[in-house]
Amino acid sequence: MIAEKPWRIETVASLFLGILAALCFAQFFGIALDSEKIKMSAEHRELAKMALSSIFLDGAVLACIGLFLRENRISWSEAFGLEKARQPQAVALGVVAALLFVPLEMAWMYSAQLLLDHPVAQPLVEALQKTDLRLADKAMMGVLAVFLAPLAEEMIFRGILYPTLKQAGYPGTALWVTSLLFGAIHMNWIAFVPLTLFSLLLIWIYEKTGSLWASITAHSLFNFTSFAVLMFPAGLAPAIPLR
């Protein structure tokens, strides 16, 4: 079970306001890249928008969390159970969770692919499916999706939002609000159900180990699998969620 967190509600509110501001700036940069003055192909423009938005937003989230922890006088290890002693067990459970869940998620997406003539893909997925993108471009997006995004998302959703709502006296609400919001932010309605269920699993392994290493590991492996499938132009790729 995760340890009780010492942060105050008002600092959590300030954190999420900071993240909301970062999201607005990320959208602004994306709009700026649409300017005709910037000469690049449509595919590279979309990829650049996604990369800069990811770097700016996820980087800003981690920076805001750093300030948040400093204000509450707690270390990263104490806040998220990142002590080395907990790492092996947490990582192992994260690997097992990902290996068990990914085939179920793939089956869901494959079924959706069969039922729908034109499944709606995320903009990032569409950009990665362009065959004329350089390998270096795809590798850059892979690093962002497999390492940076899971780290930022796990700290904000499972690391801060979930325990804050739980400690306020609403454990059931904490579980479902965190998971439904996690499913919704990926903006892929086909993947909403499996992503929500995945969030429930991530919360369970976090509670089981008391370490965010578990959910970070499972999330990273989930994104790695999705990214690997996206490298193939056919099959499940158009509908697979990423991030």
Q: What is the pLDDT of residue 128?
A: 61
- Burial class of residue 172, CB neighbours in 10 A (0-12, 13-18, 19+): exposed
Instruction: Decide if 52 is inside a domain.
Output: yes
pLDDT band at 143 (very low <50, low <70, confident <90, very high): confident
pLDDT at residue number 120: 55
Please indicate, yes or no, if residue 4 is contained in any of the structural domains. no
171 domain-assigned: yes
- Cα separation of 146 and 179, whole Å? 20
Separation of alpha carbons 137 and 139, rounded Å: 5
Per the structure, the complete domain to which residue 229 belongs is given by: 9-239
The number of domains in the chain is: 1
pLDDT tens track for 172-202:
999 999 999 999 998 888 889 999 999 999 9
Q: Is 3 within a domain?
A: no
Long-range contacts from 192-195, C-beta under 8 angstroms, 24+ separation = 193/108, 194/104, 194/105, 194/108, 194/109, 194/241, 195/241
Q: What is the pLDDT of residues 73-128, one digit of tens each?
A: 999 999 999 998 889 999 999 999 999 999 998 888 888 877 776 555 555 566 56
Q: Is residue 208 in some structural domain?
A: yes
227 within some domain: yes
Please count the CA atoms within 13 angstroms of the CA of 135 that sit on its side-chain side: 0
Q: What pLDDT sits at residue 166?
A: 95
Residue 235 binned pLDDT confidence (cut-offs 50, 70, 90): very low
| DSSP, residue by residue, the chain | -PPPP---HHHHHHHHHHHHHHHHHHHHHHHHTT-TTS---HHHHHHHHHHHHHHHHHHHHHHHHHHHHHHTT--HHHHHT--GGGHHHHHHHHHHHHHHHHHHHHHHHHHHHHH-SSPPPPHHHHHHT-TTS-HHHHHHHHHIIIIIHHHHHHIIIIIIIHHHHHHTT-HHHHHHHHHHHHHHHT--GGGHHHHHHHHHHHHHHHHHHS-HHHHHHHHHHHHHHHHHHHTSSSTTGGG----
Look at residue 1 and tell me if it is in a domain.
no
Residue 65 resides in a domain: yes
Whole-model pTM: value is 0.86
